[in-house]
Structure 1
Amino acid sequence: MMLEFPAVRGIQAGREYYVAMCPLSIVHKLFLFTDAALDPTLRAQRQLNRGRLPEMVRYLVENRDSYVFSALTASIDGEAKFTPTEGANGQLGVLRVPMASRIIINDGQHRQAAIQAALAEAPELGDETIAVVLFHDRGLERCQQMFADLNRYAVRPSRSLSVLYDHRDDQALLAKLVLSQLPEMAELVEMERSSLSPRSKPLFTLSAIYTATAALLSDLEIEGSEERAAAAARFWGKVASQFPQWEEVRRGELTAGAVRDGFIHSHGVVLHALGRVGNALLKRKPEKQDRLNRLASLDWRREAPIWDGRAIVAGRLAKNHQSVILTANVIKSHFGLALTAEEQTLEDAFGREARAA
């Protein structure tokens, strides 16, 4: 028995390879995945991380009209024959693979597993196809080398760039909508990178604005994206008015590097903390945002003792859940806001450690 694939033939490194279209309904039946229980030296792929699958399955099922899955890459371990179609310059044809041959996935095992799971929820996806790049190679060593080569230069996009190009995530859309209403602040935002070099001109990253705005609007009963964006824009506008250095950077009177070196108020940990504080204000009464006028009276210098062990840990800006809460605690206390149970627990632990030091 033969498997037959309409395919396009190409050449890489002097070897033939083929690009075929495979129905989603048979992807899980055709391609092998080596047993994760095997020693890594006897496998040609990473272990399947099943924790990744629910999100991938949800993406497929919820975006049936717009999902995109990149090609699988597999090796044919056994016989295979390509028969060109007449008049196609030898490039188009049919690839025939005996059932006795093995087709082993080199890249895409999580996509394969997600497709199989998604078909249980949306069987109609089975009639759609995915591209498969097939190499005719034999042996474990070659398969392992292919896996290493395929992943050698793989680089995930920065968080900021992912937010910028994401048109499905409501929080990403909201962050961009907020900045569209704050054009002067938007001038200070790095849209592509999620880290800032000492000489970079922006003060903030888009990923930091995304995280801080999500914290600001968490669990707030504000209906509609326009209304939520307007509430966030009002908040960040008031915050910006308390930090004259931000405007001085925008006008070119100060460098962004000098502000980041000397003050902490433009760093991600503080923006996130401000988002938490703003959330507490908005949950009480929006008009209580006048307390934001007290921001300017806090000592935002990097070396100020109040930030040591909170935003600053071992001389460096920290960005973890505990640092965000401990930083927010200082601001909330300065505003006369009560701490939540979690915030008070962390504050008590911080106090005990400080007394013991």
Structure 2
Amino acid sequence: MAWNEPGNSGNDRDPWGSNNKGGRNSGSKDQGPPDLDEALKNLMGKLGLGGGKGGKGGSGSNAGGSLPAKGVGFVVGLLLVVWFIAGFYTVKEAERGVIQRFGAYHSEVTSGLHWRPALIDTVTNIDVNNVSTMQTTGFMLTEDENVVRVELGVQYRIVDPRAYMFNVENPESSLSQITDSALRYVIGHNTMDNILTVGREEVRQQTWEIVDRLIERYNVGLSVIDVTFQSARPPEEVRDAFDDAIRAQEDEERFIREAEAYAREIEPTARGRVRRMQQEAQAYKEQTVLRAQGEVARFNELLPQYQAAPEVTRQRIFLETLERIYANNAKIFIDTEGNNNLMYLPLDQILQNNGRATTPAPMLPTGQNSVSPNTQQRSSTDTNGRTATRTSSRGSN
């Protein structure tokens, strides 16, 4: 049955825990919510923190409402537990924790779970593995008083968390200013043609060295991983002229490479030809020397024979000479004194018709077995460039 069901003859129960039987509200038909002040006092009394009622806590030394030592200890213990739990913190794998005690640097911690006294120490996690990128761009004046627009990218990361937090106010801004200053210094000491063509890598290396030196001097706590020279362009008003200059530079380099390739191709051939000519000259030299030595030896052997029989030796030499002459001539004309007829011997045609491979012996007039010393030899050249020998015979006196 519900507590306020009709027809309950006044025995309805109080939903707030009060019973009409023997209570102070017994016989009263007016009911309402409990007194909040009284409920709070009851709770304080149960906790031993004083109150109007609640047994022993309502009289004696706590009559004036002061907190007992037991309640103070409980509150202090609860606060200590909360303070201790709040002191735990975690540092990620790629981070380092910088501990500040009352605002001043105290120490650094690595990754993992750590504890620090709350409200005394504060921890700032710094990512030391992440690589960040910074861009620097602008119009800069070159050494030859030209203006060029340059873009440079810098990749960096944090290597010293303490220096990063306390040495400079804004490390990224300081790095940007250092990079811009270094780049303008390098561009100001290079010509525009060098920057736009072959000097890009040199500009990059010089800028990187200056940036590293300045970062180390100011102890920013950063380390430059890489410097990228992205682009270098002349102003738009003169861009076409500089594009033509760049193309001409590229053509020059291409022609130089082609010339070097041609030189590498021709040089071995020329060296081989020179070596062959040297060998041929050496062979000709040796051949000439040996031939001369052979002729000297032959004449040395011939001299005793000539001294023993001069006439016979002279005749034999004459005949051998004629033999060599006739062997080298393709046409022979024979002329005899006192006779108007001229004998012509076409040896080349005779050899072709007969198919002979050797040169025949010279033909002599009928009745003559050899050529006498009185025979005159005359050589001539025909229209084909061949040598013809004309022999004329004189009678003996």
Question: TM-score, normalising length from structure 2?
Answer: 0.17
Larger relative helix fraction:
1
Higher RCO, 1 vs 2 (CA within 8 Å, ≥6 residues apart): 1
Q: Which has the larger radius of gyration?
A: 2
